[in-house]
Amino acid sequence: MSGVVPTAPEQPTDEVENQVKSPDPRPDAPPDYNSHLVLGPPGPAIPPSAGHAGSLPMGLYSPPQPHNFPLYQPAGGTHPIQYQPGKYPMPNQPVPVTWMPTPAHMPNCPPGLEYLTQLDIIHVLQHFEPLEMMTSFETNNRYDIKNNLDQMVYVVTEDTDDYTRNAYRTLRPFILRVTDYMGREIMTMQRPFRCSCCCFCCPSTRQELEVQCPPGVTIGFVAEHWNLCRAVYSIQNAKKENVMRVRGPCSTYGCGSDSVFEVKSLDGTTDTGSIIRKWNGLLSAMSDADHFEIQFPLDLDVKMKAMIFGACFLIDFMYFERSPTRRSSR
CA-wise closest residue to 253 among 321, 174, 189: 321
CA-wise closest residue to 192 among 209, 211, 215: 209
Report the amino acid identity of residue 150: D
Q: What is the pLDDT of residue 83?
A: 39
Q: What is the pLDDT of residue 240?
A: 94
Q: What is the pLDDT of residue 171?
A: 84
| Cis? peptide before 214, omega within 30° of 0 | yes
- CA–CA gap between residue 328 and residue 134 (Å, rounded): 15
Q: What is the pLDDT of residue 152?
A: 97
Mean pLDDT by 10 residues, the chain (330 residues): 53 51 53 50 55 48 48 46 43 74 91 96 90 80 95 96 88 94 95 70 76 96 88 94 93 73 92 91 62 96 97 92 49
- CA–CA gap between residue 147 and residue 115 (Å, rounded): 10
Q: What is the pLDDT of residue 214?
A: 94
Helix (H, G, I), strand (E, B) or coil at 187: strand
Q: What is the pLDDT of residue 280?
A: 74
Whether the Cβ atoms of residue 324 and residue 133 lie closer than 8 Å to each other = yes
- CA–CA gap between residue 237 and residue 140 (Å, rounded): 28
Q: What is the pLDDT of residue 128?
A: 82
- CA–CA gap between residue 264 and residue 244 (Å, rounded): 6
- In sequence order, the 6+-apart residues with CB closer than 8 A to the CB of 196 are 171, 205
DSSP class per residue in 249-287 = -S-S--SSS-EEEEEEETTS-SEEEEEEEE--THHHHH-
- Provide the CA 14 distance to its chain's centre, in angstroms: 82
Scored b (16 or more CB within 10 A) or e, 11-29 reads eeeeeeeeeeeeeeeeeee
- CA–CA gap between residue 63 and residue 76 (Å, rounded): 20
